[in-house]
A and B are shown apart, each in its own frame.
Chain A
Amino acid sequence: VLPLLSHCSLTMIAVQMKSHCEYDLSASTFSPDGRVFQVEYAMKAVENSSTAIGIRCKDGVVFGVEKLILSKLYEQGSNKRIFNIDRHVGMAVAGLLADARSLSEVSREEASNFRSNYGHDIPLKHLADRVAMYVHAYTLYSAVRPFGCSFILGSYDEDDGPQLYMVDPSGISYGYWGCAIGKAKQAAKTEIEKLQVGVNILYIHIDIYIVHDEVKDKAFELELSWVGEVTKGRHELVPKDIKEEAEKYAKESLEEEDDSDEDNM
């Protein structure tokens, strides 16, 4: 048993010593209970990352990402975790940032090819399906490893309205009203569930601030972006003045410990 154990990852020694070994070395192996451990480990990489939230409001979609600052020497605004995939589509990521960047390029190519072939904006569901298929392909072979990131795609279109989809390392895409990925996702989801439909970015701010405190990390930078009627269907970073106002409001709300917000921007 001992020589076998030395091949297992350290974290597994604490849990169920026998069943993980032998079956977790490659993505092309199932375990006896029907799991692909490499994919589950990839999802762990996402759980260790800082939180990203997406909320689908009645007239748009808002993304908020908590970017933990590991050093005061970092330039502000570097290593963005929100990407523009097409004019009307945004992507917020959690997990291994390099993997996420690679997938953002893949998504951009998909959206661009679609436009080139069919002459119009790619519908978000189709984009989510296509990228999810690509992510899934990397869970099939032992020669490659699964992507260690989840991402949330959002868009707004006059006819189809706001749309929000999340893709995880297993290659499934889910449509959502509100969704959170990363270390504080449970706490964030609880906060999101309290919201009514038709809210705006203030709540994203409050959510991130609430869940950030609960995690008790050091300094963080907040990235906010939106796409909706207010931006005429283009995905953009939230303008500085609105962002600062919302940040102030969030901090004050937290101090008052007041959850019932009825404001509209």
Chain B
Amino acid sequence: MDSHHSYSQVKGVSTGVSNLFIKSYVSSKTINKLIQVHDRIFCCIAGSLADAQAVTKMAKFQLSFHSIQMESPPLVKAAASIMRELCYNNKEELQAGFITAGWDRKKGPQIYVVSLGGMLLSQPFTIGGSGSTYIYGYVDAKFKPDMSLEEAIQFSTNALALAMGRDNVSGGVVHLVVITEAEVKHVVVPGNKLPKFHDE
């Protein structure tokens, strides 16, 4: 899930098995589902990882070309639109959804959801994946607009921890990416270092 705050942004992804086709074993506990498509723009991937990787690879190329033509860093909306075009035009073949988020000079931090069929939607925060169903109540109750960076990181980590606690196919490691104008920070939190709640 991602959360978004006025000056910067936190993206968090908890990883474990996500691929339904591998039946009932964990294929990887440490896979990183946060893909960088440009200096200040990242994509969370979901669905068929093969499709998602193919799409992000194409999007990364198109975005880099676009950015060089424009002679300036790309807008987050442009990155999300490129993903959307790819998902919509190839919806018969693909099974991948994305959360595109990042920072640009024009509108600051933004989050866009690109769903399976190619819908593009901008949101202040968003959650996705199999574990997300267990935390809708939590995020709806706890989200406040204009959180500070630390609050946003705490909010994301808590939400992910709760999801991982209840979803049998989520777990392993939490990857967090914090994107600000100045830098991009990648934080990895192993499962046993996550905050503990009453469900345990």
A residues in contact (CB < 8 Å) with B: 116-120, 123, 126, 159
Contacts and interface: CB of A to CB of B under 8 A. Distances in A.
Nearest to B112: A119
Interface string B87-126: 0000000000000000001100000000000001000000
B26 interface: no
B58 interface: no
B80 interface: yes
A159 B104 CA distance: 12
Contacts of A117: 81-82, 85
B106 A119 contact: no
A61 B75 CA distance: 25
A119 B120 contact: yes
Contacts of B106: 159
A126 B69 contact: yes
B77 interface: yes
Interface residues of B, number: 14
B69 A118 contact: no
A117 B74 CA distance: 13
Contacts of B22: none
B70 interface: yes
Given A118-B75, A118-B81, A126-B69, 15 more contacts: A117-B82, A118-B77, A118-B78, A119-B75, A119-B77, A119-B78, A119-B84, A119-B120, A120-B75, A120-B78, A120-B81, A123-B70, A126-B70, A159-B105, A159-B106
Contacts of B120: 119
6 contacts: A118-B75, A118-B78, A118-B81, A119-B75, A120-B81, A126-B69
Contacts of B69: 126
A120 B84 CA distance: 13
A152 B67 CA distance: 25
Nearest to A130: B69
Closest 4 CB pairs of A and B: A119-B81, A118-B78, A119-B77, A118-B81
B144 interface: no
A265 B88 CA distance: 48
The interface centre, meaning the residue of A116, A118, A120 with most chain B CB atoms within 10 A of its CB, is: A118
B75 to A, nearest CB: 6
Contacts of B38: none
B73 to A, nearest CB: 13
B36 to A, nearest CB: 19
Contacts of B166: none
Interface in B56-80: 66, 69-70, 75, 77-78, 80
Interface string B171-182: 000000000000
A120 B77 CA distance: 7
Nearest to A118: B78
Contacts of B105: 159
A7 B70 CA distance: 46
